[in-house]
Structure formats: C-alpha cells, structure tokens
Amino acid sequence: MPVAEPETRQPETRKLIPQSDSRARRKRRTLLDNLATKVVGVGGFSIIASILAILLFIFTEIFPLFSNAEVSLSTSFKAQDILAGQGDAADVALLGLNEHQEIGYILSRTGRLSFFAVKDGAEVAHELFSLGEARVTSAIQSLKGKRLTLGTSDGRAILVEIDFGVRFKQGKRSYAPRAKQVADITLDENRSALTSLAAAGDVSETLALSAITDDARVLLYLQQTEESLFGDAETTSSQIELEKIWSGTPASIALDATVRNFYMGSDDGKIYHWTLTPDAAPDFVSAVRVRNSPGAINTLNFLIGGRTLVAGESTGAVSAWFLVRDKTSPAGWRLTRIHEMTPHPSGVTAVAASARGKGFISGDANGGLHLEHTTSERHLASFSRKTGSAIELISYAPKANGALILDSAGEIAHWLVDNPHPEAGLKAFFGKVWYEGYEEPEHVWQSTGGTDEFEPKLSLVPLIFGSLKGTFYTLILSIPIAVLAALYTSQFMHPALRSKIKPTVEIMAALPSVVLGFLGGLWLAPRIEAVVPAVLLMSILIPVIVILAARAWDGVPLRIRNRFRPGIESMLLVPILLLAAWFCLYLNGAIENAFFGGSFKDWVYQTLNVGYDQRNALVVGMAMGFAVIPIIYTISEDALSNVPRTLISGSLALGATPWQTAIRVVLPTAAAGIFTAVMIGLGRAVGETMIVLMATGNTPIMDWNIFNGFRTLSANIAVEIPEAPVGGTLYRVLFLAAMLLFMITFAVNTVAEVVRQRLREKYQRL
C-alpha cells in the first residue's frame, strides 16, 4: 500500500511595515491624542467659563437691588425771580411740579399762582385768585399735585384744580397750564387765620377738611354729597370745633384717605386720634406719646393709600405709624409706631410723600434732605446744597423721579432722583416686615396688586420654606421606597426578574415632569381628597401587611418554597398589596363617619384649626416621587450591586443570613453610593418646577401642614417671570431667587461629596 507523502507547510509570510510608516502612525496617534486632550480641556474650560459667566450675569442683575438712590442737582433759581416783584421767599405758600418735571408752579400768599419752566425758572402762565383783603396763610396739595387747598387769613378754605394743558404738536410736548377754583368754604366763623390744613376725599362725594387756627383751635369740616336715582344731588355738611383735650399746642394735623380717622400732633410730642362718622361728633380714641423724650410733632403726612402716617419731630426723628387691631381699644384699633427711619441732625421742617410707593422726602432746619422708604426701612440717600438754610417746602414729582425744594433763603432747587428699587433690601427679602393691615411683622410674598397704593411684599423666606417643605415630604416618601427596592433588587430578586424590573424603573425617570404635574394636579389631587382617611390608613396598614406576609412566607414548608425560583416570591406579594389597598378604600367611608364626624376636611379644620387644600404637600410628595424614586433607585442599586461578592460570600460562610448580610455588610459598604443617590434625588426635588407648579396651590405660606400647599423658588420664577418687566424690582428679585436656588443646590452637592468621600474612606479601611 503506497504511503502518502507528508503535507509540507508553507512558511508563514508577514508583511513588513516600513519603519517610516510606523513612525508616521505613531506621530499621527500622538497628534490626535494631543488634539483630543486639548479639545476636552477647552470643552471643560468652556463649561466652567459658561457657568461663571451665567453667575456673573445673575450677579449683575441682582446688584442694583442693594444700591442706594442717586440724587443730582439739575438747576436752581431764586423764588423772587418767579414772583416778579410780587413778594419774596417768605411769601411762598406752595410749590408744585408736573409729572414730566418740565413745568412747576409757585403760589404766593397774595393768591398768585405762577407756572414756570423748570429748566430756567421763566414764567409760562399765571392765575390770580380773588381773596379780597385776605392772604394765603397755609396750603397743601394732593400727591400728584393737581388739587390744591388754600387756607386764608379770614378762615376760608379754597379748593383749586390744576390742569397743565399738555399738548403735542409735531412730536413735541407743550403746555397751556391753567387753574380753576372749584369751592370756597368757610371753616371758621370767627374769621381767624388758618395756619395749618389737612384734606381728604373729593368735593363731589365725601370731603373732609381740617385746620388749625392762629389762636390754636382745631376745626373740622365734613361734607357729603349723595346722588338720587333721578340724578339730583343732595349735599350735607357740618362744622365742628374739637373740644380741647390736649395738653400742648396743636402743631400738625392729618386726615386719612377713608375720611374715618383724624390725627393731631402737638408740641409736647403726642399724637391724638379721633374717629369720624357721618352726622355725629368725632370720637376721641387715644393719645400716643411718640417717645420718652419727645419733641414737637412738626409734620404729619400720609403716604400713598392714606394708611401709613409719617411723623416728623423737632428733634429730627422721623417715624411711620398705622392702625393695628387691638381688642382693648374702644375703636378696635390702636395707633402703633411701625417703622423708625433715619433721624435728621436737626428738626424736621417739611415732608413730601411719593405718589409711586411708600417712600418720602424729608427736610430739616439745616437744609438737609433724606430720601426714605418705609416698608423696607431703607435710607436711600442724603443730599443738600450745604447752604445751611432751612427747608421750607418740598414737592415730590408724581413719578418719584425728581423734586422741587424751597429753602428759607428763597432758593428753589430742582433735584433729579434715580431710585429704581426702593422697596428692595435685605430686610425686605429675609427679615420680618410689618406691612399695612397686618397685626404683626411677617414673612410675606405678594409681588403685585391692583392699585398704585399696593405695598410690594417680597420676602423670599416663604419660597425657601416651600422648597424645603416640598423636598422634605417628597424624600420621606421616596427614600424608603427607592433604597429598600434597590436593596431587594440587588440582593434578593431573581436575575431574570431583575433584568426586567430595573430597566422599567429607569424608564420612569424619563417621564416628563409636566405630565406628572398634570396628572398630580388634575387627576390625583381630587381623588385623594375624597379618600384621605384611606390614604392615611394605607401608610400604616400596607407596611404591616408586608411584614406579616414575609413572616408567613418564612413559615411555608421548604418543599413548597423550593418550587419557586429564589427572589420570585415578591410577585406573590403584588395581589396581597392590591387587596390591602382595596380594603383601605372600602373602609374609607366607615372610618370617616366613625372618627371624623362624616367629613375629614371639616374635622381637621375644626379640631386642628388646619385647612385642607386639594393640591397640597401630600399630592406633591406622591407626584414628585415618580420623578425622584427612579433616580435614587438606579444609583442605589448600582452601588449595592457593586459590593464585592467576596464580602457577601464571607458573611454567608460565617453563618449570617442573607438579610443580615444585606443589612450589616452590603448596606454599609454601599453607603457612599446610596448617600450620593439621596443627595441627587434631593437636588432634583429642590429644583423641580412643573410638578410643584401644577400639583400645589402655589400659596406662599409658611406651614408644615401636609394638607396645605406651598410655593417653591423654582415654581415662583415660572409663575412670576411673565409679569416681570425687564429691569424692574420683581425681575431682579427673581434673579435673586435663582441665585438662592443655585446656592442651595451647590451646598447640597458639596456636602454630599464631602460625606461620600468620608464614607468611602471609612468603609475602605474596614
């Protein structure tokens, strides 16, 4: 038989790469590596630079909130030049300014009202009121300077309306100012001179006038006009001389906007309060001593809205007062000093209120001027011409952007005021503020109102509280469920089931928050409202049933348990939990009737004095849990699954049960990762917007009650930003809220990283 020849193997040939090509490839790789390193570096630097640029932009938007007002002298001229030989500075009774700060007016004691151009003091027009042989001894104006009340030396009050006659021709504004006398009312039958005046109301409806005469009497005039269904008007009036109950001499008077309260300041430092009622004598309420060592109450002026009363004293002190509820007072209210403003070095001689907010300008006997805001208690500016001449008259521009000042030397100065954010300040944002109509200082957020009289309330404390409250109720629901689910999934669940459960939970993290908020606010909230007792019962009964079910499973014989794959028994718990939930819902009506008088909401309100809002923290905790639980679960499960199997095997080999191993070995070892998961979930909860926006009532209140709503920083930004004019106070405050939100998140992440590193070092040593 022939023998086959052995197969000969051809030697393997290799393609040799020229050394020059190898060098080129290495050089190209090195070049690409260097390029990638630089690109990554530039990208990282760009991200950091972008974040810093965003923070810098936010800071530049916030900074103006804490800047003081800027006041600059525009022009000045002599009052005598405007009077044109009709008198000197001592003959000036009133000073006024229009809203565009182009036309002013000056009233002489002879009754001549001269309109002049503010830029140079040149007279534009004038009116002469017929006073006979009388002279103007006092005069006041409305906040916008269009209504004047003149007091004469023969006891009369003359009411005047001003029209600046604004005209536009070829795009230019011009004026044809004029004044009209609308009423001449005799206040004093004795024909004494009226040295001080106060007015409130309107001549066509309810009008109140008050005056101090040169012989120290205090007079009141009340007029009421009622119109019938047929258009006929009936006017009734009454004149009253107040009975002298004061110890000093009357120095100043004021009437509030409601024509219900009258105040008189005396030279012995007291403010006297009367209430006014139609067809009845004024009722004396109280006399309040301003301070222990008082001076004369030189000025009493109401701010816009007619509720806050500013008192200027001969000592230079300035304070703001308003009525506060008091059951011990006969009137039910008591006059209370609310704000103490920056004092002047000398006596206060004049005060002018702003027509745009709770601010005012005050002047003293040395020529000094202060710009103040009562709500924020901010001293915004001090300014003067440094002549030492006392301030006689102040006219604050209707837009609060300028003022005309007359001093005792007869000099009229026009000042420009740039004061964009007077209501802002650290106390306004973070301190308790005593607002008009409130019984005590409070933290309040209410950014807008229906009238110019509104007092902005810009406390960020309720919003910070709301963010923490929403986060707290979310985490107390999410952390136990997410961490325990992760522990069970990683240590006990069968791999086949885990491969389906974990991706499903992770997909939940992709649910849009607006969808969760929509479902929480419109679907979940009304359903929970109807079954609150059942929900509360579930929070107790379901954990108990889970524990009992686990105990019962342990008692099942091994031959039966071995028929199930390890870790699959959790699926047997699902119908038990559904049955428990149905049982709680079934008992809802019986529980409500037996323990809560048939209505849980009424019982909570009557027993605990707590209201129930349909969209509340309970709903938010449940809705936001769908957004937070997947995050905490996923990261925790990864941390628990990465615990070395050698540790678990060693624990089991030493006789520990799987549960003991999970609690005492796996959980501590993965503590750093679990803590990181919790902190990331906390950061998500703090910054969540749409869920809390749609699932709460967005009421900025400070109450831990789980049945009340709240407002968070992020939701507040979303709600308010459409209404915030660019560059306005609200606009900048929202940037401040964004900065606070960033700082909270940054602080949380920093603490989380520090704690995570320490936990890792601790358990690595073990």
- What type of residue is 659? W
Q: Token match 């070995």: residue?
A: 665
- Measure the CA–CA gap between 257 and 355, rounded to whole angstroms: 14
* Across 350-363, average pLDDT: 94
Residue 1 is predicted with a pLDDT of 44
β-pair partners for 158: 150, 184
| Mean pLDDT over each residue of the chain, to the nearest integer | 87
* Across 353-368, average pLDDT: 93
* Across 698-702, average pLDDT: 87
Q: Token match 């109102």: residue?
A: 449
Using one digit for the tens of pLDDT, what is the confidence trace for 660-674?
Answer: 888 888 888 888 888
Residues 6 or more apart whose Cβ sits within 8 Å of residue 4: none
Using one digit for the tens of pLDDT, what is the confidence trace for 4-30?
Answer: 555 555 555 555 556 666 778 888 888
- Structure-block tokens of residue 308: 């806050």
Using one digit for the tens of pLDDT, what is the confidence trace for 254-280?
Answer: 999 888 999 999 999 999 999 988 777
Lowest mean pLDDT among 148-152, 342-346, 503-507: 503-507
Residue 228 is predicted with a pLDDT of 65
Between the two ends of the chain, the Cα-to-Cα distance in Å is 76
- Structure-block tokens of residue 494: 């069968």
Contact 439, 324 (CB under 8 A): yes
Confidence grade of residue 319 (pLDDT, cut at 50, 70, 90): very high
Contact 430, 462 (CB under 8 A): no
- Measure the CA–CA gap between 128 and 176, rounded to whole angstroms: 16
Using one digit for the tens of pLDDT, what is the confidence trace for 184-207?
Answer: 999 988 899 999 999 998 887 888
Contact 136, 109 (CB under 8 A): yes
Burial grade of 745 (CB within 10 A; 0-12, 13-18, 19 or more): middle
With vertex at residue 533, the alpha carbon angle to CA 527 and CA 538, rounded to the nearest 5 degrees, is: 90
488 or 566, higher pLDDT: 488
Cα 425 to Cα 296, 606, 721, distances in angstroms:
31, 39, 20
β-pair partners for 97: 104
Phi, psi angles (nearest 5°) of residue 613: -100, 135
Beta-strand runs (E) in 326-358: 333-340, 348-353
Lowest mean pLDDT among 174-188, 225-239, 280-294, 465-479: 225-239
User: Is the model's pLDDT at 85 over the cut of 80?
Assistant: no
Residue 433 carries which DSSP code?
Answer: B
**CATH class for the domain made up of 461-529+613-765:** mainly alpha
Residue 10 is predicted with a pLDDT of 55
* Across 341-369, average pLDDT: 94
* pTM summary value: 0.86
DSSP notation for 221-280? EEEEEEE-TTS-EEEEEEEEE-----SS-EEEEEE-TTS-EEEEEETTSEEEEEE--TTS
The residue among 541, 523, 547 whose CA lies nearest residue 584 is: 541
Using one digit for the tens of pLDDT, what is the confidence trace for 118-141?
Answer: 998 888 888 888 888 889 999 999
Residue 231 is predicted with a pLDDT of 63
Percent over 90 (pLDDT), the chain? 39
- Measure the CA–CA gap between 627 and 686, rounded to whole angstroms: 12
Confidence grade of residue 251 (pLDDT, cut at 50, 70, 90): very high
The residue among 80, 84, 89, 109 whose CA lies nearest residue 408 is: 89
Using one digit for the tens of pLDDT, what is the confidence trace for 322-351?
Answer: 999 988 877 788 999 999 999 999 999 999
User: Is the model's pLDDT at 693 over the cut of 70?
Assistant: yes
Contact 418, 70 (CB under 8 A): yes
Residue 13 carries which DSSP code?
Answer: -
